[in-house]
Amino acid sequence: MWLADGWKDYEVIDTSAGEKLERWGDYLLVRPDPQVIWNTPKEHKGWRKMNGHYHRSSKGGGEWEFFNLPNEWSIHYKELTFNLKPFSFKHTGLFPEQATNWDWFSSIIKGAGRPVKVLNLFAYTGGATLAAAKAGAAVTHVDASKGMVTWAKENAVSSGLGDAPIRWLVDDCVKFVEREIRRGNTYDAIIMDPPSYGRGPKGEIWKIEESIFPFIELTAQILSKDALFFLINSYTTGLQPAVLSYMIQTAIVPKFGGHVEASEIGLPVSSNGLVLPCGASGRWQKN
């Protein structure tokens, strides 16, 4: 498992009975987590001193309950700064487990010894975009949500990357890639974090099990001949690491060579030494 164990401003403190106790900077949040099917005593004092608690509804969805939590605050990962705010569907605007991937591709970008063009698809609030830009890449950031792209821009400014070479695009990712193929544009690296289910800005339907392999094949067409890496993340339980590996192996390796790795990604639990599984990633690297 690839661990995001380099955080100072974030930690999973404890897990029990379908919930995780997390520290986000100075604040403690309790949020549901479908992986936490065990039930252990909630002995850590944080369970009783939380600043926010997301309650899952039996009818689907849920709602936040707040205890002295600001509307917005920020945390840091190395040289990056992320602005957080709790919003619907239990999220805060950041997936901390992705830091293990940020570290991986940042070292590739820094070691390339040449300009690197990165495409980040389904780019959310820009964690991977900022990590790639900080490492020296020129990044194209694409997400169908205008609100998420605005949030990502704010994170860039907070991270001192307001003037970095980042293109911010509100667009349907599939249609954008199709246009890039027609234009003849290519990228040295592609990152994608596709949702399990989603809609594009014009109502386009995305179901990951049906759409993801054709989309990987599509994006392979805009990898440059000297491409460096490809990264795909999945939070869908049906897409195990082996499945991600096979898809990349089939769509990219025959043309570009290189090697493929895939693994679960996770976060250490500070109170007991466990690791909380947080989805899976598949990585292709040229060398």
Tens digits of per-residue pLDDT, 72-116? 999 999 999 999 999 878 999 999 999 999 999 999 999 999 999
Q: Is residue 213 part of a domain?
A: yes
Buried b (16+ CB within 10 A) or exposed e, 59-84: eeebeeeeeebeeebbbebeebbbbb
Residue 210's pLDDT is: 79
Q: Do 79 and 154 have their domain in common?
A: no
* Tens-digit pLDDT profile for residues 191-249: 999 887 777 667 767 677 778 999 999 999 999 999 999 999 998 767 899 999 999 99
Confidence of residue 287 (pLDDT cuts 50, 70, 90): confident
Both 75 and 127 in a single domain?
no
CA distance 69 to 278: 25
Identify whether residues 204 and 149 lie together within a single domain. yes
250/277 same-domain check: yes
Per-residue pLDDT band for 180 (boundaries 50, 70, 90) equals: very high
> In this structure, are 201 and 65 located in the same domain?
no
Q: Would the pLDDT of 167 be above 80?
A: yes
**Is the Cα torsion angle 56, 58, 63, 64 positive or negative in sign?**
negative
Whether 78 and 120 share a structural domain: no
CB atoms within 10 A of CB 10: 22
Domain boundary among 84, 108, 138: 84
Tokens 């491409």 sit at which residue? 227
pLDDT over 80 (residue 25): yes
Tokens 């987590």 label which residue? 33
Largest Cα separation within the chain, whole Å, is 58
In this structure, are 78 and 144 located in the same domain? no
Residue 64's domain comprises 7-84
Domain count, the chain: 2
Assess whether 56 and 139 both reside in one domain: no
Residue 267 is predicted with a pLDDT of 98
